[in-house]
Amino acid sequence: MAFFNFSSPHQRTKRRTPEIMMLVVLALIPGVFVHSYLFGFAIYVQILLAVTTAIITEACFLKLRNKPILISIKDYSAVVTAILLAISIPSLAPWWVIVIGTTFSIVIVKHLYGGLGQNIFNPAMAGYVVLLISFPVQMTAWLPIQSMQLFPLQISDAFSLILTGANIDGYSVTQIKSSIDGVTMATPLEMIRNALHAGNTISETLTTPLFSLDSLQGSQWVNLAFLLGGLFLLKLRVILWHIPVAFIAGITVFSFFAFASDPDIYSSPLYHLFSGATMLGAFFILTDPVTASTTVKGRIVYGLLCALLVIVIRNLGGYPDAVAFAVLLANMCVPLIDYYSKPKVYGRNR
Amino acid sequence: MTKQTENELETIAENELSEAELAESKTQTEASIYKELSLQGLWKNNPGIVQLLGLCPLLAVTNTVTNALGLGLATLFVVVASNVLISLIRHNVAKAIRIPIFVMIIASLVSCIQLLMNAYTYELYLSLGIFIPLIVTNCMIIGRAEAFASKNNVKHSAYDGLMMGLGFAAVLVVLGAAREILAQGTLFDGIETLLGDWASFMTITLYHSETSFLLAALPPGAFILMGLIIALKNQIDNKITSK
């Protein structure tokens, strides 16, 4: 099965789905590497668990549906879904979290809608939302960066924590999560939200010693690494520029409006660009060829819509990050966007 | 009566016409009529998973078996009683105003059941809340009144109401059980609020967990599980027809 990203003019490429998916996996490497350097090895364990689960469930379901198994598994689409989901969740979440999430992504979101190419919703993000709604405690247990961890993690610790809930010396995730001061950390986006609820302004929060200890810089480095991987995909024309550019421009503009209206309670555009899942979303999640819009105008509208939803949910909503929710909501609008942005056939209806 | 409900009624009435004819015009034995009515209510034309009527209470209160069973029994009582009453007066009702009359009868029955539950199963009454008075708006009940009870004799109508009510209650209980197991790891939790203290031994704890699968307890989980139950039913039907 060949994917042609363009409707017209027909850019003939010899690329097939497996090759595209492999390139996506390659482009994720810098982000994953930086993440593991800053936050520890646990992310590799999550990816391993997710990929194994994805391949097993995919094989079982292909068998149930009487489809060829090997060809479909070899297209790596399930692997990409699994890796994206594993990157999105906190890296010390217990093993059953990622197993439930991946199974849901593959079975309910992908195969019940008809398999690769038929699903309406982005499987990885739908799986993420299910996990976030179902297990709020495990899904918000983010780690501080490694140099700030009270007990730096070895790879064996990571395995033991994810599989049994305690590391080799018997410390639990909550204890590991504590930084040197014994203070539990949240993600930067979440910290800002909590501080705002406590009545502080953004600038006050950003200058507190607690915040400078936090994983803010870590999250920014990870975002930069994903940006690098994304540019690599753009250069190889695996993805087209419309969605990432529209999304990033949208984030900048919309967050600027909010920031300009009241800098005390809304964060700056730069902050929104490099925190949370912005870059991962812009290049790897929104650009999913199945669930994103397929026309040029449609892609721009889709990117802008996602950006608007992200800013609205981050600034006003109840959850700290918003990319997953924004992508799912925008996925629902895709048929409508595609319908109204169909390119005109030359010579018809003027 | 909203326009949508009217439309639903019309489609139901059309579907059911053949069934009513089947029951009355053809010379069938009583036993075969009852058998057909049971089959229709419990499986082929199940109000919950085939006609998809009364989805609002079906999805809203099925977070535990107890709630599901409570609402299922209340609906069962109302649908049997309304079928009997409507079948009794079916020759005396002017066709033009039949629907308001049916609704009034159903509403009075629902008020009865609401007062009874308030008196005898107060905790369950509190946990079901608004969904007890909302039984009035359950399309399944007025659907049976319009499609069956207003065209058939009392005995058949009562039996039809019983089977439809049981079919609906069965779907409620299955969905409630699935959601309760997934979300809390228990079965029949709080059953004593429905049946009295003697029934508390029925509460089963299947597994203990610090974290519950919240999705199953929330409305989206109800929709997903409902879809899976319907898919299972269709799959069984396919298996039967392919044999």
Task: Give B9-74 as a 3 state SS string.
Answer: HHHHHHHHHHHHHHHHCCCCCHHHHHHHHHHHHHHHCCCCCCCCCCHHHHHHCCCCHHHHHHHHHH
- What's the pLDDT at A6? 56
Whether B110 shows a pLDDT value over 90: the answer reads yes
d(CA B180, CA A214): 39
Please check whether residue B205 lies inside any domain of the structure.
Answer: no
d(CA B216, CA B112): 32
Q: What angle do CA A289, A293, A295 make, to 5 degrees?
A: 105
d(CA A237, CA A245): 14
- What's the pLDDT at A167? 67
Hey, are the CB atoms on B211 and A135 less than 8 Å from each other? Answer: yes
- Tell me the pLDDT tens digit for each residue of A264-273: 778 888 888 8
Least confident span in A192-201, B71-80, B207-216: A192-201
Least confident span in A82-91, A96-105, A256-265, B232-241: A256-265
Partners of A134 on chain B (C-beta within 8 Å) are 213-216
Please check whether residue B187 lies inside any domain of the structure.
Answer: no
pTM: predicted TM-score of the whole model, two decimal places: 0.81
B34 in contact with A, Cβ within 8 Å: no
- What's the pLDDT at A36? 86
Whether A259 shows a pLDDT value over 60: the answer reads yes
A136 in contact with B, Cβ within 8 Å: yes
Q: Which domain holds residue B112?
A: 3-20+33-176
Residue B207: how many other CB atoms lie within 10 Å: 8
Mean pLDDT on A94-118: 90
Please give the share of chain B, as a percent, with pLDDT higher than 70: 88
- What's the pLDDT at A184? 47
Please check whether residue B195 lies inside any domain of the structure.
Answer: no
B80 — pLDDT class (breaks 50, 70, 90): very high
Beta-strand pair B204-205/B186-187: antiparallel
User: Can you give the length of chain B in residues?
Assistant: 243
**How much is the mean pLDDT over chain B?**
83
Residue B233: how many other CB atoms lie within 10 Å: 16
Please check whether residue B241 lies inside any domain of the structure.
Answer: no
Give B 187-216 residues with CB within 8 A of chain A. 211, 213-216
Please check whether residue B193 lies inside any domain of the structure.
Answer: no
- In chain A, which residue's Cα lies nearest the Cα of B213? A134
Give the number of A-B residue pairs with CB atoms closer than 8 Å.
17
Please check whether residue B145 lies inside any domain of the structure.
Answer: yes
Please check whether residue B184 lies inside any domain of the structure.
Answer: no
Single out the residue of A293, A323, A328 nearest to residue A87, CA to CA. Answer: A323
Choose between A64 and A207: higher pLDDT: A64
- Tell me the pLDDT tens digit for each residue of B114-166: 999 999 888 888 888 888 888 888 888 888 888 888 888 889 999 999 999 99
Domain count, chain B: 1
Please check whether residue B45 lies inside any domain of the structure.
Answer: yes
Partners of B211 on chain A (C-beta within 8 Å) are 135, 137-138
- What's the pLDDT at A180? 47
d(CA B153, CA A195): 69
What ipTM goes with this model? 0.75
A203 — pLDDT class (breaks 50, 70, 90): low
Mean pLDDT on A173-192: 58
